[in-house]
Chains A and B, each alone.
Chain A
Amino acid sequence: MKALNNLGMGLAGTISLVVVLVLWEVLCRTLHVRDIMLPLPSQIFAELWAELAWYGGHTLYTLWTTLAGFALSVVGGVLIAVALVGSRLFERFLYPLIIGFNSVPKVALAPLFVVWLGTGAEPKIAIAFLIAVFAVIVDTVHGLRSVPSDIIDLGKVLKGSPWDFFFKVKLPCALPSMVAGMKVAMSLALVGAIVGEFVSSQKGLGYVIMSAQGTFDTVRVFAALFILALMGLALYGLLAWVEKRATPWRQIHSD
């Protein structure tokens, strides 16, 4: 039943997408919209098809910096969250700092990272990390703090080691919330990677967009955007799949 529902959702989404593309094509042709303003979907697909390998290379670069930034944000974010929840001292001194830092628009820091880390993949990964890490911290802290009081009491009565309590009770309790944070972090890491490429790059889809815009090659801009949309969707889908695997008990619905 549920699988059927999911299939239905996917099918319905595909139908809507096709309808929008057809409408777009028809309207652009009948209204004689200039390519430089809004190219035809057929032009975009033709462009993608013609330069498949070239786009593939840039896509892989952006994918790699996004995933590297995301992975770092998950590791770093969870460690920071654990330190914040585990130690009163850390919470007192570090949390205000983190909140203050989070209110700085991270995009504005991108040029600095070029100065610090050069023009390779490092500054892109660093920006992706920086933008994504706060989502992981906030949701992991929330998850670790939302262990029900009964279960905390249970842990005390059972007198297990703090290690056991953390890994067998607290962390699994926090897992659903952590995964929610990771979903947000994944989209943000992609934003970070693109911003990094906007600022300075010779590679990646952000670079493709910037350079094509410079020569008013709008078809190419749209081709890159199309790939980015697909990439965002695929990364989100990947996390949703991981979530299902990691939390099988949540897939059961009690009535």
Chain B
Amino acid sequence: MSVAAVHARNVSKQYPGSRGVQALSGVNADIPAGRFVSILGPSGCGKSTFLRCVAGLENITGGELDVNGKAVNGPPDGIGMVFQRDALLEWRSIRRNILLPVEFAKKSPSVYQDKVDHLLDLTGLRDFGNSYPRELSGGMRQRAAICRALVDDPSLLLMDEPFGALDAFTRDQMNVELQRIWMETRNTILFVTHGISEAVYLGDVVMVFSPRPGRLLETITIDLPRPRPLSIRETPEFGRYTAHIRGLFEEMGLIGDKGTV
């Protein structure tokens, strides 16, 4: 068996201080390369913390965490990251924003021009390479941020609620596009979200987290054919997955009809 893209054994994370919050507790995961993994949970469940630990932006305080077979100690090589707010640099054109990782890696941007063109085509931003981020809509900005994360062919793409700040329509559109992009690039993706439907629609696997302390409740394999059209969300198979997950959250007492109209 090949090396897992992400391997977590009993991972825990406690923030320092006397009242240090236990953000993660006993998380186990083995994510094979090339898989699209949705990380789902309500706010405060540690799903973003888990992602940030994988990115090497936070240190784990217990257990072991490997990315591409190496223990995480600072940001690993060959990862791309997309943030909730796109984190584009306002003073750079879209093209130069996308080339930032190339510059930081001390590689020649000229070699990557075709790659950037391809990514701009792939995300429908062909005519916006020379625009400033300010001239783009929220959805387009986030697409540019995805291009930036993909430009140096990362083996692992980490996405921290990337569509959380977008309106519902744009969000649906971005889900379709992300699936299309991923089916072409086939990187391993860890996609953090609090949308049940979004998690099931995109994921090969959904890791469901529960809050305080952040624990991995269940890992669910989503066995739906790809490419998945948006209308798949109306099928009974899709409904069974979302109903099951909603049931998990109800058991935790996080959502329910009791006491509400």
Contacts and interface: CB of A to CB of B under 8 A. Distances in A.
Interface of A: 148, 150-151, 153-161, 164-165, 168-169, 172-173, 175, 247-250, 252-254
17 contacts: A153-B57, A154-B83, A155-B104, A156-B57, A157-B75, A157-B79, A158-B105, A159-B75, A159-B105, A160-B105, A164-B103, A172-B89, A173-B89, A249-B133, A252-B134, A253-B134, A254-B134
B135 interface: yes
Contacts of A168: 100, 103-104
Contacts of B100: 158, 168
Contacts of A173: 89
Given A148-B85, A252-B134, A254-B135, A157 B91 contact: no
A153 B74 CA distance: 11
Max chain B CB contacts within 10 Å: which of A154, A168, A253?
A154
Given A150-B84, A150-B85, A249-B90, A156 B134 contact: no
A175 B81 contact: no
Given A160-B104, A168-B103, A249 B57 contact: no
Given A156-B56, A156-B75, A168-B100, 6 more contacts: A150-B87, A153-B87, A158-B105, A249-B90, A249-B133, A249-B134
Interface of B: 52, 55-57, 74-75, 77, 79-81, 83-85, 87, 89-91, 100-101, 103-105, 132-135
Contacts of B134: 249, 252-254
Contacts of A254: 134-135
Given A172-B91, A252-B134, A157 B85 contact: no
A143 to B, nearest CB: 13
Contacts of A252: 132, 134-135
Contact of B87 (A151, A172, A247, A248): A151
Contact of A249 (B52, B81, B91): B91
Nearest to B86: A150
B103 A157 contact: no
A202 B91 CA distance: 47
Nearest to A154: B87
Contacts of B87: 148, 150-151, 153-154
B132 A249 contact: yes
A151 B57 CA distance: 12
Contacts of B89: 151, 169, 172-173
A151 B92 CA distance: 13
A150 B83 contact: yes
Contact of A157 (B81, B84, B133): B81
B83 A153 contact: yes
A248 to B, nearest CB: 8
B170 to A, nearest CB: 15
* Nearest 5 CB-CB pairings of A with B: A160-B104, A150-B87, A158-B104, A150-B83, A249-B132
A164 B104 contact: yes
Contacts of A248: 132
A161 B104 CA distance: 7
A249 B91 CA distance: 6
Nearest to A159: B75
Contacts of A165: 104
Nearest to B77: A159
A233 to B, nearest CB: 28
A157 B75 CA distance: 5
Nearest to A153: B57
A170 B40 CA distance: 33
A204 to B, nearest CB: 39
Nearest to B75: A157
Contacts of A150: 83-85, 87
Max chain A CB contacts within 10 Å: which of B52, B79, B80, B134?
B134
A169 B148 CA distance: 15
Max chain B CB contacts within 10 Å: which of A156, A159, A173?
A159
A56 to B, nearest CB: 40
B104 A159 contact: yes
A154 B81 contact: yes
Given A158-B101, A164-B103, A252-B132, A247 B79 contact: no
A66 B146 CA distance: 48
A65 B238 CA distance: 75
Contacts of A151: 87, 89
A169 B92 CA distance: 10
Contacts of B101: 158
A249 B92 CA distance: 8
Contacts of A154: 81, 83, 87
B57 to A, nearest CB: 6
